[in-house]
Structure 1
Amino acid sequence: MNADDFSPLTQALAAMLAKASPNERKKLAREIARDLRKSNLQRIRAQKNPDGTAFTKRKASTVTVLRGMKFVWKGQARSLKNWRLRKTKKGEVITGYDLEKKAERSFYKRDILRFIEVKKDKISTSKPNKQTRMFKRLATARYLRMSANDKGVTLSFAPQVAGIAAVHHYGLKERVRGKSLEIQYPERKLLGFSPADIKHIENQLLTFLTNH
């Protein structure tokens, strides 16, 4: 995102804004950052570029969706939905929404006495839906960070996902882990200004300048 994305009106309003106090500019910047993050998250979830075009579809394949599981943990029967398995230095961890506690919980796999039921579905990515859409992790406030001060606004992805986000945003090549094979990804603009974003920012600037 840079100044070239903005209209002459927006740039003129920004120049006038320089006369406001640092605290006033910082407050306005936080409002702009909040709304801009919201619109970018909505676009990623809708699988669209800032200009309104759809993301290039990934090649049709089958993905495994982890629906739910039941297991015995420390003598208790627990039920999770939308679970996932990850490896840590201390062992494999299963995380999911705990139906009994009504919150997300994590369990070390080694602490589970036995599994009662594990539900998995295979879904084709040829039909986009909530389960198969791309960038589900990136399209969350946890991973799309915002910062604002009296000099401007920044949206960026968290360090742990910034690399993969850049590969898709710029359409770069990525080497497959453990193999001498590179994959060329199509460009999918994850962040940017839509015409509606620019119009909204102009209105925010006009409202601010009118009231100060």
Structure 2
Amino acid sequence: MITGSLQNDALNVDRELVALLEKLSGRSRRKLSQEIARDLRRTQLKRIAAQKNPDGSPFTKRKARFITVQNGMKFLWRGELRNLKNWQFRKGRHGDMVTGFDIERSAVRSFYKRDIQRFIEVKKNRIRSRVKSKQTRMFKKLGSSRYMLAKATTDGAAVYFAPQVQRIAQVHQYGLKDRIRPNVEVQYPARQLLGFTPTDMQHIEYQIVSWLTKI
């Protein structure tokens, strides 16, 4: 969770401004916090959509996805040479099977592996899948107004993720490990979803000064 206190030097707020803020009524501080939280939430969403960390560096890209394409297979089956294309392994009633388009028979055929005497040739390619750039943009869900929330109090403004997505957000924020299947654990690179940019800091100070000049 990102939490910025209006009375905290971590926001690089001048001590004189802090002293002036302390003299504001609770209602006035809350209204100022609401403005800061609203704008900070907007800039966080915009930055995530741009796939950038607070320091301006791009998010680490996803690893390339690969698809295995089975081109062809030749084998001896009960003394006969069979030639399949677009084949796949599957489970049959009595054991493992190979199913594919039998070129000589011009039809889809299935063969139990136990009946195959010898594999002569097996062709398959591992190709990189290509998807449109819009489809590769990460954090479409996390970077939406539905799951990024803003909160304002008399003492500070905060932007944070909704409870139902906080765990996965933390995994990406800090580059943690996550179990995607019972026996598969993945180490994710750190992608800082929430954080202050230099522009954010300048804008917050500007908001505070502007607010104080109104009173």
TM-score interval for Structure 1 and Structure 2 normalised by the shorter chain: 0.5 to 0.7
Q: Identify the residue that residue 187 of structure 1 maps to in structure 2.
A: 190
Q: Does residue 1:58 correspond to 2:59, yes or no?
A: no
TM-score (norm 1): 0.65
The residue that corresponds to 1:159 in the other structure is: 163
Residue 124 of structure 1 aligns to a residue whose secondary structure is: coil
Query: In the alignment, is the contact (CA less than 8 A) between 1:173 and 1:183 conserved in 2?
Result: yes
How many angstroms does 1:62 deviate by?
Answer: 6.2
Please tell me whether Structure 1 or Structure 2 has the larger radius of gyration of its CA atoms. 2
C-alpha distance after superposition, 1:95-150 (max 9, x if no partner): xxxxxxxxxxxxxxxxxxxxxxxxxxx9636x7x2221000001111000111111
Aligned AA for 2:205? E
TM-aligned CA distance change 1:46 to 1:12, over 3 Å: farther
Q: Rate the CA distance shift 1:152–1:201 in 2: closer, same or farther, 3 A.
A: same
Q: Which runs of 4+ in 1 moved over 3 A?
A: 1-5
- The CA RMSD over aligned residues, in Å, is 2.2
Shift in Å, 1:14: 3.2
Residue 40 in structure 1 maps to residue 41 in structure 2: no
- In the alignment, what sits opposite 2:86? none
> Does 1:124 find its partner at 2:124?
no
Cα contact 2:64–2:129 (8 A) shared by 1 = no
Structure 1 residue 12, shift from structure 2 partner: 4.5
The answer to whether the Cα contact below 8 Å between 1:5 and 1:193 also exists between their aligned partners in 2 is: no
Alpha-carbon distance in 1 for matches of 2:66, 2:28: 51
Alpha-carbon displacement from aligned partner over 1:155-190 (angstroms, at most 9, x marks no partner)? 1111111110000001111122322x3211111000
Partner amino acid, structure 2, of 1:158: A
Give the TM-score of the pair, scaled to structure 2: 0.64
Stretches of structure 2 lacking an aligned partner (at least 5 in a row) = 68-127
Residue 15 of structure 1 and its aligned partner are, at CA, apart by: 3.7
Q: Between Structure 1 and Structure 2, how many residues are aligned?
A: 150
Assess if the C-alpha contact under 8 Å between 2:13 and 2:205 holds in 1.
Answer: no
Distance 1:62 1:208 in 2: 54
Q: What residue identity is the alignment partner of 1:147?
A: K
**Distance (Å, rounded) in 1 between the aligned partners of 2:134 and 2:16:** 41
Contact residue 123 and residue 132 of structure 1 kept, 8 A: no
Does structure 2 retain, via aligned residues, the 8 Å contact 1:13–1:202? Answer: no
Unaligned runs of 5+ residues in structure 1 are: 64-121
Aligned to 1:144: 148
CA separation in 2, counterparts of 1:148 and 1:123?
45
